[in-house]
Amino acid sequence: MCGIAGWVDFGRNLSCEHETLGRMKETLINRGPDNGGVWLAAHAALGHRRLSVIDPAGGGQPMIRRHNGHTYVIVYNGELYNTENLRQSLLAKGYRFNGHSDTEVLLFAYIEWGSQSLERLDGIFAFAVWDEESGHLFLARDRLGVKPLFYTVVNQSFLFASELKALLAHPDVAPVIDAEGLAEIFVMGPSRTPGHGIFKGVNELKPGYYMTVDKNGADSEKRYWSLESRLHEHNLQKTVENVRELLLDAVQRQLVSDVPVATFLSGGLDSSALTAISAEVFKEQGRGRLHSYSVDYFENEKYFKGSRFQPNNDAPWAKLVSEKVGTKHHNVFLGIPQLAASLDEAALARDLPGMADVDSSLLLFCREVKKDVTVVLSGECADEIFGGYPWFTREDELSAETFPWIRNIDGRTKLFSPALANAVNSQEYIKERYSQALAEVPHLPGENGKDARMREMFYLNITRFMPTLLDRKDRMSMAVGLEARVPYCDHRLVEYVWNIPWAMKYYEEREKSVLRLALRGIVPDEVIDRKKSPYPKTYHPAYLKAVKERLLKILAEKDSPLHQLVDAAAVKNFAESAEASANFPWFGQLMGGPQLLAFLIQVNTWLKAYKVDISF
């Protein structure tokens, strides 16, 4: 994986803007620690930071190729899993390759097929191609938004980058946040509305979209992929067989690499499946013993409290799976002081307040894994596409007519300053965003009642909740130069599962039944029958103590920027109350009282570090 940045302006000469582009590019050095480069022309400037995974010697960027009198330059962040198939098609059309990188294949694919090349790509990507002779920039993002891509137009300049920090490194981009951006952080957050870049004037290219820029300006985003609803014609047995085949193929494709590959293994169904399949592929290909990694916290077993959101600890399950499938397993244990101290680093990695210690623990975990490997397979997104979360089965949450992972909005609003509360209008904002999401659902004609509602719920999860976890995984892993691949986001698998009826997905009233049935004989039976348990968080009282003390210290400092956005007295009362130690989440499954305090710490860090100008 990598980091990309660029600048197009037809009203000025950019060929001397090496310093500005260099600043933008170097903010992304953690995404691409191996090397970097820039390419400058009269009206375009492209920058790249590279993490070498495929063809370390021949895949440098920006990559330049000439074809039919045109000079094409690409900057690309991602991985193509059908590189060799595309290469063979392009060879048959007369293209000749200088190396074996997927970057060169992607560039030639665009040259040959233009925007229609996107339909041929199997992978995760965000890229830009500049055609020097025609003065035309093309940008695209993968179907499900695994890889990020932000952009803005300011003073006739079009700017784009993998992360917000790279845009903000440009002198013309100001870190201004208005009422809508604040609502995204404090009402929707840490999720975001698709396409929203939080800072004023900044957008994120939406998943499954592309756009072009030329002397006439930036065209509106165009969609090249979307979920399509159609009648599912397979019986349960055939459905299970197809899911198994699609998942096996996705995992095998994503194990291709010129550098070491491992898996994250929690002992849950999703990561256990990836690990078991990968271990078998390693054996068949003679690649030695697969390494797997899990994360936990010192003394967590002493304080763990099971709940419907997190019923049991992961450690025994990860050990069981590792022993049965034969991996070299590594347990990474995190301490409370380092967990609390890394909240700031996690906010800077994400460019925004995020999922508090759920983010920072992943950042620390990835840093340890990076010491051994460069690529990992991770189990994100199985719950969104197969229906694994509690809100898929709880009638009160299904009928709530709101995003089920955004909880207790009234309680959250009580902590706002009067100015923030008036600016964001929490209930109206969330109602508007929810209605907007429902209006996008591709309903199946004739489908109604429970099936129609479940289709809505899956759409909400895939397009609104899943991006939050993909953002988290991308930013925390790339912050330490670790590439995380997500096989459950394979678009062929997602397209197929999308149309499987709820009666099959919830066969015998068990969440993710189709996936469980598909994995019989691959994953140990004990794990197939295990209740879902999400990414682990700490239950150690020392963590609550640490974040509480730090937040109260922030509030005691009169110049803390957090004062602009919260009611200090209300936050202090909350921090001292029993609610602060409660594990019932205010967002998702994991963000309880301690995480809310940590989130406010991250808000303060973000406001200071980015010198955010608040415009109510």
Residues labelled as active-site residues: 2
Contacts of 127 (CB under 8 A, 6+ apart): 4, 74, 75, 76, 77, 78, 106, 139, 140
Alpha-carbon gap, residue 39 to 47, rounded angstroms:
7
> Would the CA dihedral through 428, 463, 51, 294 be positive or negative?
positive
Q: Strands, E, within 421-513: which ranges?
A: 483-485
CB 47 within 8 A of CB 25: yes
Taking each helix axis from N to C end, the angle separating 357-370 and 466-478, rounded to the nearest 10 degrees, works out to 40
Number of Cβ within a 10 Å radius of residue 482 = 24
CB 349 within 8 A of CB 364: no
Which two tokens mark 106?
A: 């992607």
CB 533 within 8 A of CB 311: yes
Q: E strand or H helix at 365, and its extent?
A: helix 357-370
CB 282 within 8 A of CB 523: no
What is the DSSP secondary structure assignment for residue 265, as one 8-state letter? -
Alpha-carbon gap, residue 361 to 607, rounded angstroms:
22
Phi, psi of 70 (to 5 degrees): -115, 145
Contacts of 573 (CB under 8 A, 6+ apart): none
Alpha-carbon gap, residue 56 to 290, rounded angstroms:
22
**Over the Cα atoms of the chain, what is R_g?**
24
Phi, psi of 295 (to 5 degrees): -125, 145
Taking each helix axis from N to C end, the angle separating 466-478 and 343-350, rounded to the nearest 10 degrees, works out to 110
Alpha-carbon gap, residue 405 to 24, rounded angstroms:
35
Alpha-carbon gap, residue 22 to 527, rounded angstroms:
49
Phi, psi of 19 (to 5 degrees): -65, -45
